[in-house]
A and B are shown apart, each in its own frame.
Chain A
Amino acid sequence: MKTTIENPVEEMDKTEKKPIKKMMLILSKATIDNVYACFILANGARMEGIESEIFFTFFGLEAIQKKKLEHLHVATVGNPAMHMPTMLGGLPGMEAFATKMMKSEMEKLDIPPVGEFLEILSASGTKLWACKLAMDMFHLGEDKLIDDLDGVLTVGDFYNRAQGDGTHLLFI
């Protein structure tokens, strides 16, 4: 039987440090907070010299659709962090208002809009992939997606790219 480690932090220090070499992010949602979390993680990796790739699947595809990417919203309904009654969050214009507030705060912090952020990611060497299955499901052609897209992949293709030591996968 395994005994309980008395001091996990100390135990951790003894193990060999293995630096992260590659971050593989899967974005499956299109609310603006999720999209930014994904972009900031991918960009932050590149800034540290770590490779990064994003796999856009399901609603995450909205973030790379030319016509939709600048119109993503924060969710005001079913989001307890908004601290407003669900009924109120559902009122017309509420989402747009909350999104506008959020975007103006982000601009103050020098966080770019979605389109510009994608350009920065692409220039930094982050690979941007669209999920084939999700594209078929939404009847989306590649022409609807951003020009900076690196290609369309299946899950298997994406996993193949995750080979090697120090690769981490993250689902958002």
Chain B
Amino acid sequence: MEKTYAGKTVNISEQGYLTNLDQWDKNIGLEIAKEEDVQMTDRHWEVIEYLQDQYRKEVPLSIRKVGKSGVVSIKEFYQLFPKGPLKISSRISGIPKPVSCI
């Protein structure tokens, strides 16, 4: 599927996750954040950068790993993205939907 974010056409999955991180830019992230009702702050972007970095290194993501990363505590992670931290932050990051249950 294709969708236009911030004037750029990107490929997305059925659930609305970008399928190619190379197509991502900050403005696209901002528009997705708006869809998810997230007001982005510097802390949010720090988490997004970390997630993208991990994805590029092919490390599977989980709440537990994010909590141990030193970037953000689990508690703060939930405060930043209350409607589903890993799921929503991944969508804003332009990486695939996480498959972890933890």
Q: Does A90 contact B (CB under 8 A)?
A: no
Assign chain B's interface to a size class: 10 to 19
Q: Does A44 contact B (CB under 8 A)?
A: yes
A111 — which chain B residues lie within 8 A by C-beta? 102
Task: List 18 A-B residue pairs with CB atoms under 8 Å apart, sorted by A's residue number.
Answer: A43-B102, A47-B63, A47-B84, A47-B85, A47-B101, A48-B84, A48-B87, A49-B83, A110-B64, A110-B100, A110-B102, A112-B102, A120-B63, A120-B64, A120-B74, A120-B102, A124-B63, A125-B78
Q: Does A46 contact B (CB under 8 A)?
A: yes
Q: Does A40 contact B (CB under 8 A)?
A: yes
The answer to whether A110 and B62 touch (CB under 8 A), given A43-B102, A120-B67, A124-B78, is: yes
Q: Does A5 contact B (CB under 8 A)?
A: no
By secondary structure, the A interface counts as: helix
Number of interface residues of A (CB under 8 A): 16
Q: Which residues of A are in contact with B by a Cβ distance under 8 Å?
A: 40, 43-44, 46-49, 109-112, 116, 120, 123-125
Point out which of A43, A116, A123 has the most chain B C-beta atoms below 10 A from its C-beta.
A123
Q: Report the minimum CB–CB distance from B91 to chain A (whole Å).
A: 13
A123 in contact with B83 (CB, 8 Å): no
Q: Does B48 contact A (CB under 8 A)?
A: no
Q: Report the minimum CB–CB distance from B55 to chain A (whole Å).
A: 16
Q: Does B86 contact A (CB under 8 A)?
A: yes
For the complex, give the distance between the alpha carbons of A124 and B75 in Å: 6
Chain A, Cβ-Cβ closest to B83 = A49
For the complex, give the distance between the alpha carbons of A123 and B65 in Å: 14
Chain B, Cβ-Cβ closest to A121 = B74
B87 — which chain A residues lie within 8 A by C-beta? 47-49
B86 — which chain A residues lie within 8 A by C-beta? 47
